[in-house]
Amino acid sequence: MAEIANVPPAAKLAGVEHLYSGKVRELYRFPDGRLLFVASDRISAFDWVLPTTIPDKGRILTAMTTWWFEQFADITNHWLSSDVPAEVAGRAMVTQPLEMFPVECVARGYLTGSGLADYQASGSVCGVALPAGLTNGSRLPAPIFTPATKADVGEHDENVDFEAVSGTIGEEDANELRRLTLQIYERAEGIARDRGIIVADTKFEFGRNPSSKVITLADEVLTPDSSRFWPADKWEPGRQQSSFDKQFVRDWLTSAESGWSPKSDDPPPGLPDAVVEQTRAKYVEAYERLTGRTF
């Protein structure tokens, strides 16, 4: 696997082998083959890992993911244990190794982001035709499956249609990934809405258990890193929505104050303390609203 150039070296942990550094996560392997999935405090935007971290972000992502796994106890996932090395306690989980599908399984219940751009250009998203007259933030008539290819490190994922997924992994598996993606999204959207959060869209990853052959939910799920979370009481189609994700970071990076452009080949600058504090507060608020637990 390729490593990301501007990610600091991974911590050396006794008894496990480091396999991979992602934008946010580190992956290690135990001698028995189980994986150690560690969420760092790193934050990425515009395909860059920023030089500034968000305190407690890794703990929040891990706690939120394991909470969602509890809500979906009937859906097979890769979590095995939270019995992890002390150095990464609270930000890591022991997981089942899987044969991963090369597909980002995206569910959209609202129109925004790259889905909005596709709709404005063609009236559809990933080959799914949508009604005329929708705008930024519009709720869709029903959630849609809008998969993407898994890009190489530092590259953009590319939206594709269902036929492209079928051609890559086979029609039977593609149908099952679509079914699971929409099933989980629809249940999560209802749970979150009852707690005052709109899950506008989200990304899932799945793999196959090499021994049982069961398709298994993997990676993190339904966090501000993999989803768009909007406060339900501030939702208003036709404009940019308030959010619980890293929008503070994106907004500052594209402001005149940062002096940086996403189109630049130069790495982005560090974040001001105020942006770090606002971003951390939003992640904490999302966790506490969803779970009813105090972080």
Nearest one of 53, 22, 17 to 36, comparing CA atoms: 17
Q: Is the predicted pLDDT of residue 63 greater than 90, yes or no? A: yes
Coil vs helix vs strand at 221: coil
Q: How confident is the model at residue 245 (pLDDT cuts 50, 70, 90)?
A: confident
pLDDT of residue 157: 72
- CB atoms < 10 A from the CB of 211, how many? 8
Which distant-in-sequence residues (6+ apart) come within 8 Å of 266 by Cβ?
260
- For residue range 258-288, what is the model confidence (pLDDT) as tens digits? 999 999 999 999 999 999 999 999 999 999 9
Residues 196, 289 contacting (CB under 8 angstroms): yes
Q: What is the mean pLDDT of residues 208-217?
A: 97
| Domains (range + CATH), the chain | 17-95 (3.30.200.20), 99-234 (3.30.470.20)
pLDDT of residue 78: 98
Q: Is the predicted pLDDT of residue 114 greater than 80, yes or no? A: yes
Q: Is the predicted pLDDT of residue 153 greater than 70, yes or no? A: no
Nearest one of 94, 58, 52 to 223, comparing CA atoms: 58
Cα 164–chain centre separation: 22
The overall average pLDDT reported for the chain is 94
Residues 153, 171 contacting (CB under 8 angstroms): no
- For residue range 154-173, what is the model confidence (pLDDT) as tens digits? 456 789 999 999 999 999 99
Q: What is the mean pLDDT of residues 176-181?
A: 98
pLDDT of residue 238: 97
Q: How confident is the model at residue 35 (pLDDT cuts 50, 70, 90)?
A: very high
